[in-house]
Amino acid sequence: MAFFSRLRAQRAANRELGEGVWRRAHDRFTRSLDRIFQVLEGINDVEVYNQLVKPANEMADLLPMVRQLCTDAQRITPSEDEVIPQATASVHRSLTKSANDLATTAQVIAMMRMQAEAGSPINVLSVVHRAQIVKEDVNRAAQLLEALK
């Protein structure tokens, strides 16, 4: 049964996001977010995990907004290929940057995990800073898209 529900979800995503740049922007953000939680799952130190889970959850809270932005952008400038629509190129750039910054955040968390495993002290402020950059990227995309409506 899980196969059919995944298939239905994929078809719904294709309807909303298309199969072009907006779908890829959404999927890139989702993969980066998944990577953050994969790295978090590998943290054995409960104290370190608890410090990092709050900023990770804050970034996860952005996913519905990213999906809505991609859906709206697909409605305004439909895309079914790799060509970025000129009218919404800045929105795409901000969403792509947010996914890249999210992936960088996963790398920072992975390095912190290694530091903690080695017994070195960690400072969660770098993760908080990276999370703030991701939020700013997504908010910028929202502002740019709103200006086009």
pLDDT digits (tens, 9 = 90+) for 71-120: 999 999 999 999 999 999 999 999 999 999 999 999 999 999 999 888 88
Domain ranges (residues) in the chain: 2-148
Q: What is the reported pTM?
A: 0.89
Terminal C-alpha separation, the chain: 40
pLDDT digits (tens, 9 = 90+) for 25-81: 999 999 999 999 999 999 888 988 999 999 999 999 999 999 999 999 999 999 999
120: left (phi over 0), alpha (psi -120 to 50) or beta: beta
> Cα–chain-centroid distance for residue 57?
11
Q: How far apart are CA 24 and CA 70, in angstroms?
A: 9
